[in-house]
Structure 1
Amino acid sequence: MRFRGKLIDIGCIQHFTRVLITIAKLAKMCTLRITPNKLYFILSERVANGGVSIWCELMQGHFFNEYNMEGVNEEANEIFLELPPENLVRAMKTAQSAKSVKIKLTKKHSPCLTFEVEQPSLSSHSRTVVHDIPVHIIPRRLWDEFDEPEMPDFDISIYMPNARVLRNVVDRMKNLSNFVSISANQNGAMRVKVEADQVTVETHFKDLEYPTWSGPSDIGQRSRNRDPAEFVEARIDIRRLAQFLSGQQVNPSKIICNIVDTRVVHFFLLHDDVSLQYFMPAISL
């Protein structure tokens, strides 16, 4: 297995760093899947334990000036690595004014992702900072555990209100309860509610847009058959939601919220060269 990539454009270096910061805010450990065309950051916690799932895709051609990889074999031309994303962030934070960043899969005392950060210098000699990040190579027999999550057959799909406004609302609510209920309907209304022993606090948003989905006929079928005024609701961990909203560094053009009634909330962040899906299972009363 081999992997080598090089980032030169300072805008791409900074954007790549922002993506890593977003992932690190959401997961202590994740799986990095490397393919010829894309990089994926994946987290799949046990839903039975209230775990969340993350699926983040990056088009390598939008970030890397050079990119070469060889997987296990021709039929399985991919590489799966387990690592703490925070370690990647630390390496990239030293590169915010770098001339280039090389990322290689190397074998030191153990498998590593080696970051070679070429810093600008006043002399004719370049100055390079090297970070060796230990990784665990995931064997081929386990790859099926990291398949892309299926798009839920949601009951409602709606564009989120301004993320900064929603984050401020959720930050205030999280001092009142460990859980928050999110509900929405097809008339463009969304409600965010917390309930405590002494108080119930509810914030309303209106005139929100909703996406038009194309694809398999069953996607969003329940959404299309529902009374537009009827609210669909799911109760989730408010601290996880606050973490998700505060961790966004990629400045997505849109955030879609899909709700399966009483079962799951699915957030879908859209950007020109990055997409991120975040699944939060509902919590029963």
Structure 2
Amino acid sequence: MRFRAKIVDVACLNHFTRVINTIAKLAKTCTLRLTVDKLYFILTDKVANGGVSMWCELNQGNFFDEFQMEGVAAEHNEIYLELTPENLSRALKTAQNAKTVKIKLTNKHCPCVTVAVELPSLSSSSRIVTHDIPVGVIPRRLWNDFREPSVPDFDVSIYLPVLKTMKSVVERMKNLSNCIVLEANLNGEMNLKIETDLVSVTTHFKGLGNPPWVSEDGSQNSTQDRDPESMAEARIDIRKLLQLLAGQQVNPTKALCNIVSKRIVHFILLHEEVSLQYFIPALA
């Protein structure tokens, strides 16, 4: 089992750092899945128990100048590691002016992801700063616990408003309640609502648009039979929503959410080389 990768391009390094910073805001620990073509950051808190789930997917070719990995076996050419993304984020903070960053799997008293940062120096020799980040190797028998979540059979799918605008609205609302109602319809309308015994506050967004979903068999999603004016809604933990909005550094080119009424809100943030899915379960 071997893994080594190298980033030379400054823009790629900065982009990778922003992705890791976003992951670190969303998960204290997560699973890093390595394949020949992709990296995945996975959080699988049980939604049924009120936890959020996350699935972030990166094409390695868009970030790394060199990328080599050998999985646990020829027929299972993948590696699954448990890590603390904040540790990786801290290591990359030292790499802002780096000439190169090398990341590899090592064994130093315990399995580690070692980040070696080559920094420019006034002398002819470079300075190397090395960070050893302890990781847990996840055995093959547990890999099925980390499959890609399926897109839920949603009632409404809608594009999100500008995330900064949405964040400022939610930040103000969090002082009024611990939960927020997110509702939307197929007319491109979305509302954020706070309802307590003392106050009722609603922010309306219009003209957002609804993504065209086509299932694998080529048919339209079942939402086509739904009344366009009818609102689908879910009441969710406002802190979990704010965590997603406040931690966002990927600057997605597309952001949308799918609502399964009274069950779950599924967020999808897309950038050219990155896709991030985030699931927040509805409160009873």
Whether the TM-score (by the shorter chain) exceeds 0.5 is yes
Provide the secondary structure at the position in 2 that maps to 1:243.
helix
The 5 Å alignment of 1:1-285 reads: 1-217=1-217, 221-284=221-284
Q: Check conservation: 1:153, 1:220, Cα contact below 8 A.
A: no
Larger mean Cα displacement after TM superposition, 45-54 or 25-34: 45-54
Q: Secondary structure, in 3 states, of the residue corresponding to 1:235? A: strand
Paired residue type of 1:25: K
Query: What secondary structure does 1:214 align onto?
Result: coil
Q: What is the rounded CA distance, in whole Å, between the counterparts of 1:210 and 1:186 in structure 2? A: 6
Alpha-carbon distance between aligned partners in 2 of 1:61 and 1:186, rounded to the nearest angstrom: 37
The SS at the match of 2:170 is helix
For the residues of structure 1 that align with 2:134 and 2:142, how far apart are their CA atoms?
Answer: 20
Which stretch shows the higher mean deviation, 42-51 or 271-280?
A: 42-51
Post-superposition Cα deviations, 1:79-118, rounded to whole Å, max 9, x if no partner, equal: 0000110000000000011000000000110000000000
Query: Aligned equivalents of 2:242 and 2:219: distance in 1?
Result: 28
Cα 1:218–1:226 change in 2 (3 A) is farther
- The secondary structure found in structure 2 opposite 1:64 is coil
Give the conservation status (yes or no) of the 8 Å contact 2:25–2:247.
yes
User: SS of the residue aligned with 2:56?
Assistant: strand
Whole-Å Cα distance in 1 between the matches of residues 264 and 48 of structure 2? Answer: 13
Counterpart Cα distance in 1 of 2:129 and 2:174: 41
Secondary structure in 1 matching 2:19: helix
Does structure 2 retain, via aligned residues, the 8 Å contact 1:155–1:220?
no
After superposition, the C-alpha distances for 1:239-283 in whole angstroms (9 at most, x for unaligned) are 000110000001000111110111110000010000000011111
* Whole-angstrom CA distance in 2 between matches of 1:128 and 1:86: 21
**How many residues in Structure 1 have an aligned counterpart in Structure 2?**
284
User: What is the TM-score normalised by the length of structure 1?
Assistant: 0.98
Any idea what the Cα deviations from partners look like across 1:104-143, whole Å, max 9, x if unmatched? 0001100000000000112110100000000000000000
- TM-score normalised to structure 2 length: 0.98
CA distance in 1, matches of 2:275, 2:254: 10
Q: CA RMSD in A?
A: 1.1
**Separation of aligned partners in 1, 2:279 and 2:28:** 16
Task: List runs of 5+ in structure 1 lacking aligned partners.
Answer: none
The separation in 2 between residues aligned to 1:92 and 1:220, in whole angstroms, is: 43
Q: Percent identity?
A: 62
Q: Residue 157 of structure 1 contacts residue 256 of structure 1 at CA under 8 Å; is this kept in 2?
A: yes
Q: Distance in 1 between matches of 2:48 and 2:205?
A: 31
Which consecutive unaligned segments of at least 5 residues does structure 2 have?
A: none
Give secondary structure in 2 for the equivalent of 1:208. coil
Q: Does the C-alpha gap of structure 1 residues 263 and 33 become closer, same or farther in structure 2, counting only changes over 3 Å?
A: same
How far 1:209 moved relative to its partner?
1.4
Supply the distance in 1 between the matched residues of 2:192 and 2:185 (Cα, whole angstroms).
Answer: 12
**8 Å contact from structure 1 (residues 154, 220) kept in 2:** no
